[in-house]
Amino acid sequence: MSHFAPMPLLACAVSITALTVFMPANAQEAADTPNSRRVLQTVQVTAERREASQQDVPVTVTSIGQTQLNEGNYLTTEDLAQQVPGLQIKSSFSASNPTIFIRGVGINDFNPGNSGAIGVMVDDLFYNSTIGQLFQLYDLDRIEVLKGPQGTLYGRNTTGGVVSVHTARPGFEPGGFINATYGRFNQLDLEGAVDIPLSDKLAVRLSGVSNTRDGTRTILFPDGTSAEKNDVDFQAVRGQLLYTPTDTLEILGKVEYGVSSATSRSYESQGLFNFGTGGFGVPDFNGVCGGRNAAICSDAFGYTDNPDPYSGSENMKSTPEDVETVTADLQINWDLGMFDLTSVTGYLKADREALLEVDASPNRLTEEYINDGSEQYSQELRLASQWDGPTKLIMGAFYLQDKLAGQDFFELLADLNPTPGSEYFDPVNFIARFDRMYTQKTDTFAVFAQTDYDLTPRLTATLGARFTWEDRSIKLFSYAGPVDAVPLSQPSPVYYPLLDESAYGRDSISFEEPTFRAALSYDATDDVMLYGSVSRGFKSGGFNTGASSDPVEASIVDPEQLLAYEVGVKSEWFAHTLRANASAFLYDYKDLQVFGLAPSGVPTQTLFNADKASIKGLEFDVTSLPVEGLELSLAGTYLDAEYEDFVTPIGEDFSGNRMVATPEWSLVARARYESQPVWDDKRVIFGVDASYTDDQFFDTANTPRLGQGSYVLANARIALKPASDRWELAAFVKNITDEEYIVDAYDVADFGFDELVYGNPQTYGVSLSYRFGAGR
């Protein structure tokens, strides 16, 4: 793996600075002209639960606005990872259970019982279970990514930060839009919305989306037939009703339904056995197996995968993954005079049924059926002060109840069944089927308050605290049953007990945790703010809901704590044509929860606490308008993240290793040019962006073959639109160089292979949008 600095993008940073610093002096005067296009737009965020300029809040927050969302062809939350440095969103499933990292804080656990260290919210509704977190992005206003622990004002488990999605609200003028996109792999995306004012106090907004695409991976089956997998098939509808009976009261109700009917994720099998030499590729992957794309090594059954990551062989033709989500929430904003009262009542139900070919081979090594679902209710109340004076106050309470239930069937080494078609169980050689059923319940309650006090007209102190109480309980049973020709979805007639709730020693846990935030911000000038903060976040303890076959899996983890120190500057220069923000941070990370696969006769999922880790980092974000119509930006994150004290339950010492999913550098460069009219009133818009991701590992052991070297992804777009903005015709290409890159990897060396998850290949297409009335 390369450890060279990302010179091309760093050179871009120097170019942006040079263009800005040495532009003509009279450009500053031009930027002050009313209605000039050469002024950076104010970015409004709600990072501190009040609407404010991004430049005025002492929090590191990245906001992706409506224009960038519309032009970027972002379809799912996974796409955000390419646009926000320091953010990683990946999934080993097709449309569910993402694992999210911000500044290296996160967890690789793909089980829905562990809700991760990053809060995910849509319109202030906290999404607790990961089953429904990999949702489609449509009809949005903006997305805010808050970096660092948000332990005061946000919901549970925000050790690393928050991804907050804001949908477009109903309007009181009739209008709407329609977007259509067609591209490679028969990609067909349809999106639309309409505002319907029923009176001057009542308005409806209806929106919907349909995203479909053929598979990007060609699979060959033992009978000689083939099929395409890693496809997309998603539809959703959203209805909103906005009622404003008085000038001081606003009631917004929303109902949303979404369904994904694509195939399960198709993985690449990375073989580890060289049958020609008798070598095993774990100690020296390149020396024994010739590298990732050499197609020399095989799995334990002799299967060698095609080195092309977008083709392979599997046993099962039908591997569906069906995900269904229902969301309803009611938001009330009431101006009470001295206080503004906000109430957010939410309901979220997410169900998933999937059949997985885990081994990614034509042999029946490991196959899994999953049927799980979660149902949550939540309520938040907030009071925000409205009085004049040096003090601002926000206080409130939050309650969430979540029930998660699952039933999984894991079939192991079916091809070794000596009596095909008959009941069979071999506990010595682990030829079996494991049937697992569990129910997990979570109840959490928190109270919080934060105050901002102006010590002087330019110096403001922030102090906030949150206290959380949480109860969790689990009932888990795992059995081994016969392996035969009976479909996985049918129950077995004979069971052998492996695990039950007594394996945990107790079936419920409770804890109480305080978190806080303290900050100082100083307005050095009207356009330059300096700030420093210290904050504490925590992620709740819990159970390993992935436990199935070994008592070591039945673990309970304690809450993890993170103490963060950060200093930063936010500034604008040259009459608001250059925006430059930067921050430095230090994280003291204790009892962090670690997930992984451990060596065993079967793939054993472990979840435990590591004692200590530290993360040191720098971030910057520069946006410039060097000439009229041209916008350049460069953002980056540098991370020095390592486990300081980390010994696994089986005695492996990983102290000093780099943390999972923490590339040293991650950079995003972007350029957008909007021309003067070139054909009547028609303008041309050019856009290009590139993201650089440094070397990283996907396991705590820092195994080279389970890592990904540095890579660059580039996208481009060209569009034509009139001055009225009524319509737009565009062409785009994503992953211009057709880069082959891994977003996750799992060690299944007991069966002689690794399971690799690749990112999307090159795609391209055209899109047409039309806006009518007051459409947004």
Map out the domains of the chain with their CATH numbers.
Answer: 7-266+314-773 (2.40.170.20)
DSSP state of 602: S
The answer for 302, left when phi > 0, alpha when psi is -120 to 50, beta otherwise, is left
Residue 424's pLDDT is what?
Answer: 65
- pLDDT tens for 629-652 read 999 999 999 999 999 999 988 788
Nearest Cα neighbor of 227 from 285, 138, 312 is 312
Residue 34's pLDDT is what?
Answer: 32
Residue 600's pLDDT is what?
Answer: 61
Residue 420's pLDDT is what?
Answer: 58
CA distance 579 to 626: 12
Nearest Cα neighbor of 517 from 3, 18, 49, 37 is 49
Nearest Cα neighbor of 436 from 410, 411, 412, 408 is 408
Residue 13's pLDDT is what?
Answer: 40
Nearest Cα neighbor of 697 from 751, 643, 752, 651 is 643
User: Distance from CA of residue 252 to its chain's centroid?
Assistant: 27
CA distance 542 to 714: 40
Q: Quick count: other Cβ atoms within 10 Å of Cβ 722?
A: 14
- Name the pTM for this structure: 0.91
Instruction: Please state the length of the chain.
Output: 776
- pLDDT tens for 448-470 read 999 999 999 999 999 999 999 99
Nearest Cα neighbor of 382 from 446, 443, 471 is 446
Nearest Cα neighbor of 137 from 182, 179, 198, 85 is 179
Residue 9's pLDDT is what?
Answer: 39
Query: Are β-strands 118-122 and 161-167 bridged in parallel, bridged antiparallel, or unpaired?
Result: parallel
CA distance 543 to 401: 17
Return the bridge partners of 670, or none: 633, 689
The C-alpha angle with vertex 269 and arms to 318 and 657, in degrees rounded to 5, equals: 130
Residue 752's pLDDT is what?
Answer: 87
The answer to whether the Cα torsion of 594, 596, 599, 600 is positive or negative is positive
Under a CB-based contact definition with an 8 Å cutoff, are residues 156 and 128 in contact?
Answer: yes
Please, what's the largest Cα pairwise distance for the chain?
A: 86
The answer for 702, left when phi > 0, alpha when psi is -120 to 50, beta otherwise, is left
CA distance 695 to 698: 10
Under a CB-based contact definition with an 8 Å cutoff, are residues 661 and 101 in contact?
Answer: yes
Residue 83 DSSP SS3: coil
- Show Cβ contacts of residue 714 under 8 Å, excluding neighbours closer than 6 positions: 688, 689, 690, 691, 735, 736, 737
Weakly modelled stretches of the chain, pLDDT under 50: 1-36, 485, 487-488, 492
